[in-house]
């Protein structure tokens, strides 16, 4: 006698649940990869036991292992802890009092690396093409690396001389200036970008990633010019989330490598990266006498205390202190 039974779909695997929850929360793809990586390492460290069977002792042992055996920095250790907190709170939905008592590693307070104006100029003149344009924009606007990489056509207002930075750190939007010195180069680049867009559209591959639910709300927006990335990838790639083949934005590592070569060619011994241009932007504005609240708004800092770090870089502390040795001599 044959019994008809409806097959029961097995529940998704734990890491797939993690990915699903991250996407519901609209976290970035880079955060998704990092969280999955840390959770996988935590499970392997504990002999592939399910995290629901583990507790504070295992979490603290894992974090200690990272610091003692892995020699990771405090920020990396805290990154791993954030991934585990997300796992227990958002995925396993376990109300565990010990979660709040796990001590985060104290991050050392370090001054940011800042280039002088002469050093910035020496780096920028040694960069070519699209990387030179992007580096000039980083220094001229104070944008973070990924904020520049993810710029879309609609975010630049040439008439008003403004750039709208969308979905910055903390999911906040802000407005910064568009330096007049990059306008001509950016407009020339946009003409080339428009030609590439028309070629993609002719091939039926002008579709671009849209955040959140915009693709459903505006079904045609993904193939329209205003939503295109200003700095596109040189080839098509498969979206790891949707599986769609499309032209994504440029890989940020390419700009990082180009700047590293320029810094070395300029003979600068400071460990300067594209983010150093943002630090230099803030420091040079304060040196020029701009109000710290103005600089805070341009950088997108939620608290002015974060911006205050640049007054320490200036070594003025708000008092304009002169060394007694300089006064003596």
Whether 189 is a known active-site residue: answer no
Q: Which of 154, 169, 189, 205 is catalytic?
A: 169
Q: Catalytic pick from 65, 89, 154, 275?
A: 275
3-state SS record for 158-199: CCCCEEEECCCHHHCCEEEECCHHHHHHHHHHHHHHHHHHHH
Max CA pair span of the chain: 106
Tell me, yes or no, if 193 is annotated catalytic.
Answer: no
Output the six-digit token pair for 322: 């002169």
Kind and range of the H or E run holding 200: helix 180-202
Catalytic one among 246, 278, 279, 284?
Answer: 278
Catalytic site residue from 35, 131, 229, 310: 310
Candidate list 19, 21, 144, 174, residue with the active-site label: 144
Task: List the beta bridge partners of residue 174.
Answer: 165
Strands, sheet with 162-165, edge to edge from the N-terminal-most edge strand: 156-157, 162-165, 174-177
Judge whether 71 counts as a catalytic residue.
Answer: no
Is 301 a catalytic site residue? yes
The tokens of 10 are what? 């097995």
117 annotated active-site: no
The yes-or-no answer on residue 27 being catalytic is no
Task: Compute CA distances 53 → 21, 76, 98, 309, whole Å.
Answer: 20, 25, 14, 43
Active site residues: 144, 169, 275, 278, 301, 310
């Amino acid at each position: 006698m044959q019994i008809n039974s409806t097959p029961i779909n097995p529940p998704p695997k734990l890491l797939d649940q993690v990915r699903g929850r991250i996407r519901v929360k609209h976290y970035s793809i880079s955060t998704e990869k990092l969280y999955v990586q840390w959770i996988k390492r935590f499970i392997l460290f504990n002999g592939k036991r399910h995290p629901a069977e583990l507790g504070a002792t295992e979490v603290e042992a894992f974090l200690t292992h990272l610091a003692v055996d892995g020699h990771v920095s405090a920020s990396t250790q805290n990154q791993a802890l954030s991934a585990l907190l997300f796992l227990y709170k958002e995925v396993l939905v376990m109300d565990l009092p010990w979660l709040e008592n796990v001590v985060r590693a104290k991050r050392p307070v370090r001054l940011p690396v800042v280039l002088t104006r002469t050093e910035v100029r020496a780096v920028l003149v040694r960069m070519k093409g699209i990387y030179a344009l992007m580096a000039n924009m980083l220094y001229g606007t104070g944008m973070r690396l990924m904020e520049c990489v993810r710029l879309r056509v609609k975010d630049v207002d040439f008439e008003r001389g403004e750039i709208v930075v969308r979905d910055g750190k903390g999911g906040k939007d802000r407005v910064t200036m568009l330096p007049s010195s990059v306008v001509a180069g950016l407009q020339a680049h946009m003409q080339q970008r428009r030609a590439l867009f028309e070629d993609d559209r002719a091939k039926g591959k002008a579709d671009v990633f849209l955040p959140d639910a915009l693709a459903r709300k505006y079904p045609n927006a993904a193939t329209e010019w205003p939503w295109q990335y200003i700095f596109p990838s040189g080839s098509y790639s498969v979206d790891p989330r949707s599986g769609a083949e499309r032209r994504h934005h440029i890989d940020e590592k390419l700009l990082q490598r180009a700047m590293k070569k320029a810094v070395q060619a300029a003979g600068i011994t400071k460990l300067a990266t594209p983010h150093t241009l943002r630090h230099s932007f803030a420091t040079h504005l304060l040196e020029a006498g701009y109000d710290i609240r103005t600089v805070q708004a341009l950088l997108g800092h939620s608290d002015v205390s974060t911006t205050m770090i640049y007054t320490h870089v200036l070594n003025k502390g708000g008092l304009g202190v002169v060394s007694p040795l300089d006064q003596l001599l």
